[in-house]
Amino acid sequence: MLYLNGHFVRPEDAKISALDRGCLFGDGVYEVIPVYSRQPFRPAEHIRRLEASLAAIGLPNPHTAEQWIALVKQVISQQDYEDLSIYLHVTRGNAGERDFPFPENTPPTVLINPAPLVVPSQEAKATGVRAISHADFRWLRCDIKSLNLLPAVLLRQAAKQAGCAECVMFRDGMLSEGAASNIFVVKNGVIAVPPKDHLILPGITYDVVIELAQQHGLPLEVRHISETEVRNADELWMTSSTKEVLGIIELDGKPVGNGRVGPLAQRLDSYYQAFKQTIMRKPITC
Ligand code: PMP
């Protein structure tokens, strides 16, 4: 069952109007919350990011944080799977016409769609993945988790056609992020990652990885990183809710460092796995 506008319905019965502004304009935002052993991971942080995305596009939030979490828990309780990825989607609704300015008195469309969570296997983590690079041709509000995902569609397709898993983006000679992940760089044992500004999505995994690096006393710099630094890095890795910490071993056909997943990527992923275990053992707290 998925949740659509106040009702729990089977996916085949979930109907959204063809004139929904999400469909016509991508006029909406979304979130993805990973769930381990039926426990949502960092739910308060995901809902805060959803609130920030809604506020940034002037779309009134239809639910309080508590209501969102309650809905997510209800959706989780109806699933057969223990590990899930919960997709939340809010659009500016169906105004009945195709007109750009915000409609008045139009309720938003709210969709919560669960799916089994598929994270990379231990073998995939050990092997790492290859990536291509591309100019970051997205807009200047990449901090909003907007439904307009055409750039990610095109860049991930280009990556797939090149036999790669991700596309690392550069804007004005500086690293921004991956098409659907944040990118960390290591040089001489120092981890670096771009700051959270309007040019990247503030990743929840990004935050966790920074916290874990700091807790374990690993040197880490949050700063702008040049394309040259990325191309000369000892290690590169991507982070996201579904990829966790995944080493990038090749960029544009050239090996990153020695061409194998680096020791810091492995350490951060093992810290991340241990952190996940603590979440799974705890009851839901919010
Ligand atoms: N950047 C972009 C562009 C993304 O799409 C994602 C995945 N949602 C991320 C970063 C990583 O965010 P998170 O760690 O919250 O999954």
Assess whether pLDDT exceeds 70 at residue 87. yes
Assess whether pLDDT exceeds 90 at residue 175. yes
As a whole number, mean pLDDT of residues 217-243 equals 98
pLDDT value for 8: 96
Q: Please determine whether the domains at 2-116 and 122-279 fall in the same fold group of CATH.
A: no
Atom nearest to 179 CA in ligand 1: 3
Which one of 241, 244, 272 would you pick to mutate in the ligand 1 pocket, going by the greatest count of ligand atoms within 8 A of its CB? Answer: 241
Assess whether pLDDT exceeds 90 at residue 50. yes
Assess whether pLDDT exceeds 80 at residue 283. no
169 lines ligand 1 (CB under 6 A): no
As a whole number, mean pLDDT of residues 189-206 equals 98
pLDDT value for 242: 96
d(C-alpha 75, C-alpha 87), whole Å? 11
pLDDT value for 21: 98
Whose C-alpha lies nearest to ligand 1, atom 9? 181
241 lines ligand 1 (CB under 6 A): yes
As a whole number, mean pLDDT of residues 164-193 equals 98
pLDDT value for 232: 98
Ligand 1 centre from 46 Cα, in Å? 11
Q: Are 85 and 242 in contact (CB under 8 A)?
A: yes
pLDDT value for 284: 56
Q: Topology of 122-279 in CATH?
A: D-amino Acid Aminotransferase; Chain A, domain 2 (3.20.10)
Among 125, 145, 243, 276, the one annotated catalytic: 145
Assess whether pLDDT exceeds 80 at residue 64. yes
Ligand 1 centre from 47 Cα, in Å? 14
CATH class of the domain comprising 2-116: alpha beta
Estimate the share of the chain in helix, then strand, then coil, as percent rounded to the nearest 5. Answer: 30, 30, 40
201 lines ligand 1 (CB under 6 A): yes
pLDDT value for 285: 56
State the sign of the Cα–Cα–Cα–Cα dihedral 165, 48, 184, 41: negative
Q: 95 or 225: which carries more pLDDT confidence?
A: 225
Give the Å distances, CA to CA, from 153 to 31, 118, 141, 167, 268. Answer: 17, 19, 17, 11, 28
Q: pLDDT class for 178, splitting at 50, 70, 90?
A: very high
Ligand 1 centre from 12 Cα, in Å? 28
Q: Please report where in the chains the tokens 């979304």 appear, as a residue.
A: 30
Whose C-alpha lies nearest to ligand 1, atom 5? 180
8-state DSSP, 13: G
pTM of the predicted structure, to 2 decimals: 0.96
Q: pLDDT class for 36, splitting at 50, 70, 90?
A: very high
Which one of 181, 205, 269 would you pick to mutate in the ligand 1 pocket, going by the greatest count of ligand atoms within 8 A of its CB? Answer: 181
pLDDT value for 280: 80
**pLDDT more than 70, % of the chain:** 98
pLDDT per residue over 100-147, tens digit each? Answer: 999 999 999 999 999 999 999 999 999 999 999 999 999 999 999 999
Ligand 1 centre from 39 Cα, in Å? 20
160 in catalytic set: no
Q: pLDDT class for 241, splitting at 50, 70, 90?
A: very high
pLDDT value for 147: 98
d(C-alpha 29, C-alpha 50), whole Å? 7
Atom nearest to 204 CA in ligand 1: 15
Residue 202 is encoded by which pair of tokens?
Answer: 């503030």
Ligand 1 centre from 21 Cα, in Å? 23
Which one of 139, 177, 182, 244 would you pick to mutate in the ligand 1 pocket, going by the greatest count of ligand atoms within 8 A of its CB? Answer: 182
Residue ranges per structural domain of the chain = 2-116, 122-279
Q: pLDDT class for 286, splitting at 50, 70, 90?
A: low
